[in-house]
Amino acid sequence: MSRMVLIDTSCWIEYFNRPGEKIADRVRALVRDDRAALTGIILSELLQGARTIEEASELRLALEAPVFLESDRKVYVRAGELGFELRQQGITVPLTDCIIAAVAEADGASVLTLDGHFEHLARVASLQIERD
């Protein structure tokens, strides 16, 4: 089976709000091919951004399709280490992005993102970034 792709919040937003964009097509293809992955922090970010109860309900239903990558203590320790290592280099990235990178690293998934923070994370983690 091909590598799973952990789809970052930025790409899901494009998928839901701008379905004609190239990145939305890429997300659609990953979902269709059963290669799309999601993790808790991304799910939470997306649900937090819902504008109505109906939209939140639609999001929950739509986000049942991707494979859900779980997090354990090792993932959170690794996320902290990644953030610390970058901070030692004078680079600050959001903890949420560190968690996403640590989940992807632990599961051997690549990350599809529009967020530049992941370029920094890829320098200190075993992480493959996809852009499209």
Angle at 126 between CA 121 and CA 130, to 5 degrees: 70
- From first to last of its 132 residues, the chain has per-residue pLDDT tens of 579 999 999 999 999 999 899 999 999 999 999 999 999 999 999 999 999 999 999 999 999 999 999 999 999 999 999 999 999 999 999 999 999 999 999 999 999 999 999 999 999 999 999 986
pTM of the model: 0.94
The span from the CA of 120 to the CA of 25, in Å, is 26
Domains observed in the chain: 5-130 (3.40.50.1010)
For residue 4, the one-letter residue type is: M
